[in-house]
């Protein structure tokens, strides 16, 4: 198996192009500085002047290209810096806390402690098994109920979390088109 080449960034490629342009420019500058050929004929002098003008034109063209490349590198460096200082795209958006009630209800004295969130039942397991790629958010909500929390993986890619009692949770990821692209169902084992 042959080694895999590491991809180079646009900035590295442009720096390489600048170095190549400089290597091409140095011999052109050296030729432009060469003295006029010896000889008394006007033809030789004119030929030398034409060649000098051609080299000068090439040198100016190369200098323009180098300047364009230099500006492009500066723009790319600014973009890279802006991207590096931006938060990571995988950071989940925290769920909104529930709004506090205006008049909190009195605590029930004899109410048994119920775990928060939806309960795991045989129907819950069957509903997770019925998930399909390409389902809309409304279809998922009708099947699994509202998510416990929501997040965003990348711009436009939503992630719904479903948390059940105990160490059980599941998630559904939606593509930028708003349809199910993948999911991770809760562990339905002997614990439920």
Whether the predicted pLDDT of 162 surpasses 70: yes
- For the chain, which residues make up each domain, given as ranges? 10-85, 122-184
156 pLDDT band, cuts 50/70/90, is: confident
Query: CA–CA separation, 186 vs 183, rounded Å?
Result: 10
CA-based nearest residue to 60, from 39, 32, 86 = 32
Instruction: Look at 87 and 76; give whichever has higher pLDDT.
Output: 76
Asked if 162 and 118 count as a contact pair (C-beta separation under 8 A), the reply is yes
Residue 145 and residue 118 in contact, taking contact as beta carbons nearer than 8 Å: yes
* pLDDT score at 78: 82
Q: Which two tokens stand for residue 121?
A: 């039942």
Q: Say if pTM beats, i.e. exceeds, 0.75.
A: no
Q: Which residue has the higher pLDDT, 4 or 137?
A: 137
Picking from 54-68, 116-130, 176-190, which range would have the lowest pLDDT averaged per residue?
116-130
User: Residue 172 pLDDT more than 90?
Assistant: yes
Q: Which helix (H) or strand (E) holds 127?
A: helix 122-129
- For the chain, what percent of residues have pLDDT higher than 90? 27
In 3D space, the residue among 63, 149, 167, 165 whose CA is nearest the CA of residue 114 turns out to be 165
Q: How far is CA 100 from the centre of its chain?
A: 37
Confidence of residue 45 (pLDDT cuts 50, 70, 90): very high
Read off the pLDDT band of 62 (50, 70, 90): confident
122-184 is a CATH 3.30.1450.10 domain: yes
The CA distance from 87 to 164, in Å, is 30
- Residues 174-183 have a mean pLDDT of 94
Task: Provide the residue count of the chain.
Answer: 192
- pLDDT for the residue 175: 94
């Amino acid at each position: 198996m042959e080694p895999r080449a590491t991809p180079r960034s646009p900035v590295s490629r442009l720096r390489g192009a600048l170095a190549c342009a400089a290597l091409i420019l140095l011999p052109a500058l050296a030729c432009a500085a060469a003295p006029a050929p010896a000889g008394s004929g006007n033809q030789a002098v004119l030929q030398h002047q034409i060649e000098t003008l051609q080299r000068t034109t090439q040198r100016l063209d190369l200098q323009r290209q180098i300047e364009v490349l230099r500006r492009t590198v500066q723009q790319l460096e600014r973009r890279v810096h802006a991207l590096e200082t931006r938060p990571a795209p995988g950071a989940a958006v925290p769920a909104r806390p529930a709004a506090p009630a205006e008049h909190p209800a009195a605590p029930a004295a004899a109410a048994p402690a119920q775990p928060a969130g939806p309960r795991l039942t045989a129907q819950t397991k069957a509903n997770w098994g019925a998930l399909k790629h390409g389902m809309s958010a409304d279809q998922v909500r009708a099947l699994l109920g509202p998510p416990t929390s929501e997040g965003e993986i990348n711009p436009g890619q939503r992630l719904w979390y479903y948390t059940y009692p105990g160490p059980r949770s599941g998630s559904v990821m939606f593509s930028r088109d708003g349809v199910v692209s993948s999911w991770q169902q809760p562990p339905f084992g002997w614990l439920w």
